Amino acid sequence: MNEPNQPSTSLAAMTPRVRAAWYVLALSEELGKKPLRKILFEVPIVLFRGASGAVGALVDRCPHRSVPLSFGEVVGETLQCGYHGWRFERGGRCTAVPGLDGEADVPARCATRYEVREQQGFIWVWGDPATQPVGEPFHFRCADDPAYLTVRRAVPAPGAVHSVIENALDVPHTAFLHRGLFRSDGKRRPITCRVRRFHDRVECEFIGEARPEGLAGRILSPTGGMVTHFDRFYLPSITEVEYRIGEENHVMLNGACTPVSDFDTIVYACVSVRTRLPKWLVKAVVQPLAMYIFRQDAEILTLQTETFHRFGEARYVSTDVDLLGAHILRLMHRAARGEAGDPTAAPYEREVTMWV
Ligand code: FES
Ligand SMILES: [Fe+2]
């Protein structure tokens, strides 16, 4: 449905698929002895951990009779199908066909495999099994530092990956949807927002922001003070919110957003906090608060996605304070077309005043 004189955006334009990139498919702790089925871009993928601990990722479909390999079990370094017992090693080669008098390993019997990396408590796969990985997965800056409390979680986010990313990095909604938790809609002050877009990422630096008055800010810095705040997006789908309040308090909120399908995402959150407060206290207070905030965002994403589908298109009118969404979409579209961008080009820069 098109409303008169209203610009609209096709749903396809809202859902670029950047396949040739690293995506988190699981938390390391999720993958034990049993194979684990996950979905990326609507393709089921089975993860399995061999006896040595190394992780394999195969399309979850046995080449023999199309049974999900996740129905099978791990045997040594291989994954054994639950139907006739064919075995596959991490590279996808078929190493055993029970009952067959002859060579098991012929090309037609190979399972399609994904490149895998396991680092910092996450299992990553390269999203396009037809291409070789370029570079390594994103590195979470503070997750290995013992001075920080780091929490990892998989959080369902019922929306398109772009909507989820924009939501995670969107400041104006915090005073409304999360009223009282970060910011309030009471007396607002102007701050400067400096946006910089590079070939593979875009960030916004918030200058002149006082400590948010809401509960989350008060817990982190009871005495107030000025805040250093950056919101960042890295291709293909990493969000990063960084806060420093005073010398001692540093919060890194990362989300690796994994597209299950065009309108369904899982956020693999990696949150690192360094503060004067004891770690148990941070965990006891911040974790439930974060989950409460996630639920509020998930509800909005559900409603937004339903509205996309009901109208068959999106209305997306932006103003200056929608700081990053359009830049993120632009970077995603370019990456989806396979264009790398120019790393030597000067960044695009813009300053905006926002009342927070
Ligand atoms: S279907 Fe997998 S071995 Fe036959
Ligand atoms: Fe939010």
Convert the pLDDT of each residue in 122-135 to its tens digit.
999 999 999 999 99
Residue bearing tokens 């439930």: 288
Buried b (16+ CB within 10 A) or exposed e, 250-262: bbbbbbbbbbbeb
Buried b (16+ CB within 10 A) or exposed e, 272-294: bbbbebeeeebeeebeeebeebb
Output the pLDDT for position 356.
Answer: 84
Maximum Cα–Cα distance across the chain = 80
Output the pLDDT for position 248.
Answer: 79
Instruction: State whether the beta carbon of 81 lies less than 6 angstroms from ligand 1.
Output: yes
Residue 92 tokens, joined: 């996808």
Q: Ligand 1 centroid vs 107 CA: distance in angstroms? A: 16
Instruction: Report d(CA 123, CA 102) in Å as an integer.
Output: 35
Instruction: Report d(CA 139, CA 120) in Å as an integer.
Output: 8
DSSP code of residue 121? T
Please list all protein residues whose beta carbon sits less than 5 angstroms from ligand 2, which is an ion. Answer: 297
Amino acid 154 reads A
- Phi, psi of 319, deg, nearest 5: -120, 180
Residue 319, classified by CB atoms within 10 Å of its CB into exposed (0-12), middle (13-18) or buried (19+), is exposed
Output the pLDDT for position 143.
Answer: 97
Q: Ligand 2 centroid vs 301 CA: distance in angstroms? A: 10
Instruction: Report d(CA 15, CA 237) in Å as an integer.
Output: 12
| Cis preceding-peptide flag for 236 (omega within 30 of 0) | yes
Q: Ligand 1 centroid vs 29 CA: distance in angstroms? A: 28
Q: Write the CA distances from 291 to 46, 83, 160, 181, integer angstroms.
A: 28, 40, 20, 12
Instruction: Report d(CA 71, CA 53) in Å as an integer.
Output: 20
Convert the pLDDT of each residue in 223-256 to its tens digit.
767 789 999 999 999 999 999 987 778 999 999 9
Please name the residue whose Cα sits nearest to atom 1 of ligand 1.
65
Instruction: State whether the beta carbon of 116 lies less than 6 angstroms from ligand 1.
Output: no
Instruction: State whether the beta carbon of 67 lies less than 6 angstroms from ligand 1.
Output: yes
Residue 83 tokens, joined: 């139907």
Output the pLDDT for position 6.
Answer: 66
Per-residue pLDDT for the chain (356 aa), expressed as one digit of tens each? 556 666 788 999 999 999 999 999 999 999 999 999 999 999 999 999 999 999 999 999 999 999 999 999 999 999 999 999 999 999 999 999 999 999 999 999 999 999 999 999 999 999 999 999 999 999 999 999 999 999 999 999 999 999 999 999 999 998 889 887 776 666 788 999 999 999 999 999 999 887 766 776 776 666 767 789 999 999 999 999 999 987 778 999 999 999 999 999 999 999 999 988 888 888 888 788 888 999 999 999 999 999 999 999 999 899 999 999 999 999 999 999 999 889 999 999 999 999 98
Instruction: State whether the beta carbon of 98 lies less than 6 angstroms from ligand 1.
Output: no
Output the pLDDT for position 2.
Answer: 55
Output the pLDDT for position 99.
Answer: 97
